[in-house]
């Protein structure tokens, strides 16, 4: 199953992390590449803590490999589920 998440802020990167940790392929999309990089760093740090406590440090890369960080909404074309996690400005 492929999951798309729109918005890479606190909620969006958390949602993406949970799906990826659960074994799903995840595409995280944001309009800002810098925010995507920050989301990747946040997820990497969080996974290190969570999986480290479980003695599964070696699984961090596996989870990260299930995540795609992009500004291209076209990556959703074959997603089974898309979750919106953006603010309405």
Q: What digits encode the pLDDT tens for the residues 41-83?
A: 999 999 989 887 787 778 888 999 999 999 999 999 999 999 9
State the DSSP H helix or E strand holding residue 10, giving kind and residue range, or none if neither: helix 10-21
Q: Which domains does the chain have, with CATH numbers?
A: 10-84 (3.40.50.720)
* Tokens 């995540």 sit on residue: 67
- Cβ-based neighbour number of residue 32 at 10 Å: 11
Residue 32 pLDDT grade (very low, low, confident, very high; cuts 50, 70, 90): very high
Give me the mean pLDDT over the 26-53 stretch. 93
pTM attached to this predicted model: 0.90
pLDDT in tens, 6-20: 999 999 999 999 999
- What is the pLDDT at residue 79? 97
């Amino acid at each position: 199953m492929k999951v798309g998440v729109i918005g890479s802020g606190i909620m969006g990167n958390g949602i993406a992390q949970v799906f990826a940790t659960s074994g799903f392929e995840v595409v995280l999309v944001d309009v800002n590449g810098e925010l995507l990089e920050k989301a990747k760093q946040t997820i990497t740090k969080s996974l290190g803590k969570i999986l480290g406590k479980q003695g599964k440090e070696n699984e961090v890369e596996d989870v990260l490999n299930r995540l795609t960080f992009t500004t291209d909404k076209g990556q959703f074309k074959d997603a089974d589920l898309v979750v919106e996690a953006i603010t309405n400005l």
